[in-house]
Amino acid sequence: MRQHNYYVYILTNKHKNVLYIGVTNNIMKRLYEHTAEKSKKNSFAVKYNCEFLVYYEHHISIEQAIARETEIKKWRREKKDKLINSFNPEWNFLNEEVMAW
């Protein structure tokens, strides 16, 4: 059976006061799309300038990834912050790190 790659990811803005949670099968392409979609004003990520990756996790099934995305979206902000802190305590922007894969 072929292994698939899916990612649940969290983006923020430069002030780190807004979070966007998404799921994708190509994190590099999706990060590029978030920065290139500036003309789509109705997008949450664009409206709030969420283009900086601060968290991601890998899944091998789309069902798993979607379930996890849904779970995280339901959390209060404090719990989301704890998740990010456990993975990326300095809240460094990880875009370049991921784009270098």
pLDDT tens digits, residue range 22-74? 999 999 999 988 877 666 677 888 889 999 999 999 999 999 999 999 999 99
Neighbours of 55 (CB within 10 A): 21
pTM score: 0.92
CATH 3.40.1440 applies to domain 6-99: yes
Query: Domain residues of the chain, as ranges?
Result: 6-99
What does residue 42 show for φ and ψ, rounded to 5 degrees? -85, -5
The better pLDDT of the pair 76, 41 is held by 76
Tokens of 20: 């966007």
Tokens 């894969």, residue located: 101
